[in-house]
């Protein structure tokens, strides 16, 4: 595990928001993330690719959609995921993202 790549993956606020949503919900489609974050698909995909290259997320294609989830096979990622998951209590933007996601999914 390259720690500089790992931390680079989380150094952008949008990537941190994406990681937080994935930590909270487990697995999400790109379409859910674009609607939740109100960002273009190309922007979300670029950030997901950075997270994937950092070793933080893994992807699975299902038909025309790609679903992402945090990697759970690496101790570093599991520890960081727990920290990110618990951070929403003090971050208004992350709380708003969760509220937006609930509207998108349900």
pTM above 0.75, yes or no: yes
The CATH number of the domain holding residue 19 is: 1.10.10.10
10-residue mean pLDDT profile of the chain (106 residues): values are 83 94 92 95 96 94 92 84 76 87 87
Predicted confidence (pLDDT) per residue in 19-40, tens digit: 999 999 989 999 999 999 999 9
| Sequence-separated (6 or more) residues with CB below 8 Å from residue 67 | 27, 28, 29, 59, 60, 61
Task: State the first-to-last Cα distance of the chain, in angstroms, to the nearest integer.
Answer: 36
Mean pLDDT across the chain: 89
Q: Give the residue numbers spanning the domain of 70.
A: 3-105
How many domains does the chain divide into? Answer: 1
């Amino acid at each position: 595990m390259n720690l500089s790549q790992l931390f680079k993956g989380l150094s952008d606020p949008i990537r941190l928001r994406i990681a937080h949503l994935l930590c909270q919900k487990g697995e999400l489609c790109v379409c859910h993330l674009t609607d939740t974050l109100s960002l273009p698909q190309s922007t979300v995909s670029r950030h997901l690719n950075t997270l994937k290259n950092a070793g933080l997320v893994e992807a699975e294609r299902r038909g025309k959609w790609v679903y992402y989830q945090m990697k759970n096979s690496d101790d570093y990622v599991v520890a960081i995921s727990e920290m990110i998951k618990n951070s929403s209590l003090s971050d208004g933007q992350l709380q708003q993202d969760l509220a937006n996601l609930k509207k998108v999914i349900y």
